């Protein structure tokens, strides 16, 4: 039974890079790449790895089975729709996991029930019960998701959640499938569902947010404030359409603003950059330069004012250390906005000792160069200094 009120609550990190992440157009990974990512996620301390959707293809089934055998610490989940053949296939795929989970889902919103499922609410409710019961016949750890949960009519959502718990679901996920909710709304939804559903304390509640309005991370953390204790997310935020909540952002928000988010995760944050690079490489999806936490510019400073501040004290412009996410050091990028302090620091790092006059001259030439050239490499600086020294 899940206790959602223990001291410094542990929030479970459920990574779905290999399932929801892989579902985004163009992000397909080979079996080898999936195994590599799964091993990394396991070592990094992810609690649950959603390895794939076994009924989707033979390749997906094989990947989930291999990951289930490979992973040592994390729970390995396989996704399934509510159909019994899906559930049985997922059960077979996770069979060799040390900690197997079946994650079964069904849409509950009016628009999905009417147009996608073409089922009446009562029929949906029956499917919830029969799918969770079927999954529980295979494994003890069953997650049930109310797809499009945030656009579901509240009383019906509560009835479905109650039925899923009664049928044996140990985790209840209320996804924001289309990235529609807001932080306040999502937090309140968890508070109210947990208040209204009998025996809600028998299940761990989970958030699963998409980023259509750019609020996936904020919504996820709000859901946790409302009592959820599992966060579903992906490395680099990859996923359907605008993506899922980014694991690295959630974990570092909890670590950096633990006053506001007083929880703990089991993630070794120093591995975040490595995981980001591995997923970017496997999916061929580049990470945007200004991406929070893992983007190339996340710990880079170009403006003279910022570089000067950073040289005086790193907390002037950084709220977390680069080392805490596995980046060796802050980079003071030399460009047209850089000032004397950064150039001096860089030249000293490169081993140059210049008199004040020499430095002043090199600085003027450096500024002129930055107007002509976007990227200033060490070789450019060497040429400037050598030119100056040759004049002496």
Q: Residue 147 binds which entry of Zn ion, ligand KIV, none, with Cβ cut-offs from 5 to 8 Å by kind?
A: ligand KIV
Q: Residue 220 binds which entry of Zn ion, ligand KIV, none, with Cβ cut-offs from 5 to 8 Å by kind?
A: none
Which one, 175 or 243, has the nearer CB to ligand KIV? 175
Residue 16 Cβ vs ligand KIV, minimum distance, rounded to whole Å: 7
Distance CA(87)–CA(83), nearest Å, equals: 6
Size (the chain), residues: 392
Q: Specify which residues 210 forms β-bridges with.
A: 244
Residue 145 Cβ vs Zn ion, minimum distance, rounded to whole Å: 9
Distance CA(196)–CA(200), nearest Å, equals: 8
Residue span 151-180 as binding mask against ligand KIV, x where in contact by CB under 6 A, dash where not: ----------------------x-x-x---
Q: Hey, CA dihedral for 195, 198, 199, 200, is it positive or negative?
A: negative
- Note whether 66 binds ligand KIV by CB under 6 A: no
Stretch in the footprint of Zn ion (CB under 5 A) among 19-27, 211-219, 330-338, 364-372: 19-27
- Note whether 20 binds Zn ion by CB under 5 A: yes
Which one, 176 or 308, has the nearer CB to ligand KIV? 176
Distance CA(28)–CA(43), nearest Å, equals: 22
- Note whether 208 binds ligand KIV by CB under 6 A: yes
Distance CA(142)–CA(328), nearest Å, equals: 40
Which residues, at least 6 apart from 166, have a Cβ–Cβ distance to it below 8 Å? 129, 199
| CA of residue 218 relative to chain centroid, distance | 12
Which one, 158 or 245, has the nearer CB to ligand KIV? 245
Residues 291-320 contacting Zn ion, CB under 5 A: none
DSSP H or E run through 36? helix 31-44
- Note whether 291 binds ligand KIV by CB under 6 A: no
Residue span 98-117 as binding mask against ligand KIV, x where in contact by CB under 6 A, dash where not: -------x------------
Helix (H, G, I), strand (E, B) or coil at 161: helix
- Note whether 15 binds ligand KIV by CB under 6 A: no
Number of residues that bind ligand KIV (CB under 6 A): 9
Q: Is 297 annotated as a binding residue?
A: no
Which one, 210 or 306, has the nearer CB to Zn ion? 210
Distance CA(177)–CA(157), nearest Å, equals: 14
Residues 114-153 contacting ligand KIV, CB under 6 A: 145, 147
Residue 325: phi and psi, rounded to 5, are -115, 10
Q: Is 47 annotated as a binding residue?
A: no
Stretch in the footprint of Zn ion (CB under 5 A) among 18-26, 72-80, 92-100, 147-155: 18-26
Q: Is 301 annotated as a binding residue?
A: no
Which one, 99 or 210, has the nearer CB to ligand KIV? 210
DSSP H or E run through 79? strand 75-80
Stretch in the footprint of Zn ion (CB under 5 A) among 20-28, 126-134, 305-313, 324-332: 20-28
Beta strands 12-15 and 48-52 are parallel
- Contact call for residues 15 and 245 (beta carbons, < 8 A): no
Residue 142 Cβ vs ligand KIV, minimum distance, rounded to whole Å: 14
The four Cα atoms 137, 142, 143, 147 give a dihedral, to 10 degrees, of -10
The widest CA-to-CA distance across the chain, in whole angstroms, is 89
Beta strands 12-15 and 300-301 are unpaired
Annotated binding residues for Mn(2+), written as ranges, equal 20, 208, 210, 244
User: In the complex, which residues of this chain contact Zn ion (CB under 5 A)?
Assistant: 20
Site residues, ligand KIV (CB under 6 A): 20, 105, 145, 147, 173, 175, 177, 208, 210
């Amino acid at each position: 039974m899940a206790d959602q009120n223990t001291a410094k609550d542990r929030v479970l990190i459920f990574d779905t890079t290999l399932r929801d992440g892989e579902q985004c157009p163009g992000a397909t990974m080979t079996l080898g790449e999936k195994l590599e990512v799964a091993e990394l996620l396991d070592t990094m301390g992810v609690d649950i790895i959603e390895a794939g959707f076994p009924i989707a293809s033979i390749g997906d089934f094989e990947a989930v089975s291999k990951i289930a055998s490979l992973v040592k610490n994390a729970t390995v989940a396989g996704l399934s729709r509510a159909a019994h053949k899906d559930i049985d296939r997922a059960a077979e795929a996770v069979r060799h996991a040390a900690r197997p989970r079946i994650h079964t889902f069904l849409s509950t919103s009016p628009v999905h029930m009417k147009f996608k499922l073409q089922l009446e609410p009562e029929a949906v409710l029956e499917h919830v019960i029969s799918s969770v019961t079927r999954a529980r016949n295979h494994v003890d750890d069953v997650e049930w998701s109310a797809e499009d949960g945030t656009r579901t009519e509240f009383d019906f959502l509560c009835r479905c959640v109650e039925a899923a718990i009664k049928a044996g679901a140990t985790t209840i996920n209320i996804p924001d499938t289309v990235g529609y909710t807001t932080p306040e709304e999502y937090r309140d939804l968890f508070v109210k569902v947990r208040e209204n559903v009998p025996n809600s304390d028998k299940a761990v509640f989970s958030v699963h947010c998409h980023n259509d309005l750019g609020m996936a991370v904020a919504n996820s953390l709000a859901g946790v404030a409302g009592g959820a204790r599992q966060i579903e997310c992906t490395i680099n935020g990859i996923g359907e359409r605008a993506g899922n909540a980014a694991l690295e952002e959630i974990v570092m928000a909890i670590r950096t603003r633990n006053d506001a988010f007083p929880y703990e995760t089991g993630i070794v944050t120093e591995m975040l950059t490595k995981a980001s690079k591995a997923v970017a490489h496997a999916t061929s999806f580049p990470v945007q330069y200004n991406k929070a936490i893992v983007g190339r510019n996340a710990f880079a400073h170009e403006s003279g004012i910022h570089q000067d501040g950073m040289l005086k004290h790193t907390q002037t412009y950084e709220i977390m250390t680069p080392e805490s996410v596995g980046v060796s050091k802050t980079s003071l990028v030399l460009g047209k906005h850089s000032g004397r302090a950064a150039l001096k620091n860089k030249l000293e790092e490169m081993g140059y000792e210049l008199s004040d006059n020499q430095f002043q001259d090199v600085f003027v030439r450096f500024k002129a160069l930055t107007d002509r050239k976007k990227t200033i490499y060490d070789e450019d600086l060497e040429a400037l200094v050598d030119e100056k020294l040759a004049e002496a």
